A = this chain, B = another copy of it.
Amino acid sequence: MIYEPIFLDGTSGVPMYRQLYESIRDRIGGGELAVGEKMPSIRRISEELGVSRTTVEQAYQQLCVEGYLVSRPQSGYYVEAAIIEKKPAPPAEPDDSETLPGVRYDFGSRYVDSRSSDLDLWRKYVRAVLSSEEIVSSYGHHQGEPELRRQLAHYGMLLRGVNSTADRIVIGAGVQPLLSLICGLLGDKVQRVGIESPCFPHAERVFRDFRLDITPLGHDKYGVTPRELYASNVNVVYLNPSNTESMGRPMPVSRRAELLEWAENTDGIIIEDDYNGALRFRSRPVPAMQGIGNGERVIYLGSFSKLLMPSVRISYMALPPELAELYRSRGGSYNQTSSKIEQLALAGYIRDGHIEKRLRRLRKIYSEKSDRLISLLREYFGQPAGIRLAETALCAELTLDCTESARVIASKALESGVRVIPMDSSGNGAKFRLSFAGIPESDMREGVRLLHEAISPYCRSRT
């Protein structure tokens, strides 16, 4: 019984779940809890220790996230691993959209370049929609405004090779509500879902909330391998073929075709999240998987926040014919989440050809800015540094051999007015992400210079 020697101190100021998490983690690390062992239920620990179930759930959750425990539906929690080699954390984006005070050079910004932001044009479209009394004073269409769906069917085909009609397109305020819808539509057909590892955390969150059995899939340099998929026994897989986090480049067409073959052979479904699929500036975009196959085994997801403006939350999906039919049969029992005004503004914006112009402009801007940032990093940090472009994430990755963790160094840099995103606090090298989307090009040199100054004292191989 692991909880006998656990004493939680309600007066210590450390949250209870944190104390519990640490106790269990230490016991796993110390071997008192062996790999494979079943953990006591949340209810039991809660009763024995006299803490709320939420407290226990939070502790277990944290242990699952870090890989110490694994949750098996209808069974319980099991010890998964004794020592965890920390994976790179997902980019720790700040909780608030506000700029941090004192930050002069912000490589961590979630803003987009103001030069690129078409703000006046966007306002024009929003105002035009807003001026219609009929539009503002009536409900929108639950599937998404028909006018926007027509534009998206055309746009998806033109720019991403997505093969869909407007009646198979469903709009939503971001990828999460669409994934919820997908889980609802698939129903009993999805029990186990395969994900890339690491996975886009917001997608994983939805699968966890639906209490699906999640199988992380390994990959080679081209992405998830067909062998992994066949061996995994999943029937639904969620992929980001245009933006594979671990590889920093899109999945080649040949691999896409192999994975489509898996879907055909096994009656499987591929959820293709084409995040920023069109926004490539180094190479030509690779066509969407949905269009490479016959569109019957792939649910295609596309988004606009990075392409348009971050404040606009419009995503869409193209459903295979069978699922589209099921969606329609459920009629109006799903509400639309995306703003009607913004949907119609976007429809006009696409209709008038602005999205293509914007893509061309963004490709040019990001190509220049990424070149500039990479060359500045090379100039200041030189050969010993690992410098890599993460194209669709719109940032550069800088890896250095340091005496302190990336987190510590990033907070030092912050004191000098430079913000970067620390990625990794373990083992070999401190890793940082520097976004080039938000920072003006003219500020880059001074920002990199100050960053170098802040990092230098902690560098093993002096640069």
Contacts and interface: CB of A to CB of B under 8 A. Distances in A.
B176 A334 contact: yes
A276 to B, nearest CB: 15
A112 interface: yes
Given A130-B126, A313-B336, A334-B205, A112 B137 contact: yes
Interface stretch (A153-161, A218-226, A236-244, A337-345): A337-345
A140 B110 CA distance: 10
B139 A114 contact: no
A137 B205 contact: no
A187 B205 contact: no
Q: So how many copies of this chain end up in the complex?
A: 2
A283 interface: no
Given A139-B110, A205-B184, A334-B176, A189 B341 contact: no
A462 interface: no
A323 B57 CA distance: 11
Contacts of A74: 74
A442 interface: no
B123 A131 contact: yes
A30 interface: no
A54 B210 CA distance: 20
A311 B137 contact: yes
Given A58-B326, A337-B176, A93 B332 contact: yes
Interface string A163-206: 00000000011111100110110011100000000000110111
A231 to B, nearest CB: 23
Contacts of A173: 173, 177, 335-339
A209 B188 CA distance: 10
A246 B173 CA distance: 32
A189 B127 CA distance: 45
A188 B42 contact: yes
A125 to B, nearest CB: 11
Interface in A10-24: 17
A54 B117 contact: no
Contacts of A87: none
Interface in A116-170: 117, 119, 122-123, 126-127, 130-131, 133-142, 146
**Dominant secondary structure at the A interface:** helix
A208 interface: yes
A310 B54 contact: no
A336 B110 CA distance: 15
Given A137-B111, A187-B57, A187-B211, A311 B340 contact: yes
B337 A57 contact: no
A198 to B, nearest CB: 13
B337 A174 contact: yes
Nearest to A130: B123
A188 to B, nearest CB: 7
Contacts of A139: 97, 110, 305, 310-311
Given A209-B180, A211-B187, A311 B54 contact: no
Contacts of A119: 133, 136-137
Nearest to A145: B97
A130 B62 CA distance: 39
A133 B114 CA distance: 8
A97 B184 contact: no
A42 B187 CA distance: 12
A310 B138 contact: yes
B97 A117 contact: no
Interface in A332-368: 332-342
B335 A202 contact: yes
6 contacts: A57-B187, A58-B326, A95-B142, A202-B335, A205-B333, A313-B340
Given A54-B322, A58-B325, A117-B136, 17 more contacts: A57-B188, A61-B330, A95-B142, A95-B332, A110-B138, A110-B139, A111-B137, A119-B136, A123-B131, A126-B130, A135-B311, A137-B311, A173-B337, A176-B334, A184-B209, A202-B335, A311-B340
Interface of A: 17, 42, 52-54, 57-58, 61-62, 74, 93, 95-97, 110-112, 114, 117, 119, 122-123, 126-127, 130-131, 133-142, 146, 172-177, 180-181, 183-184, 187-189, 201-202, 204-206, 208-211, 305, 309-313, 322-323, 325-326, 329-342
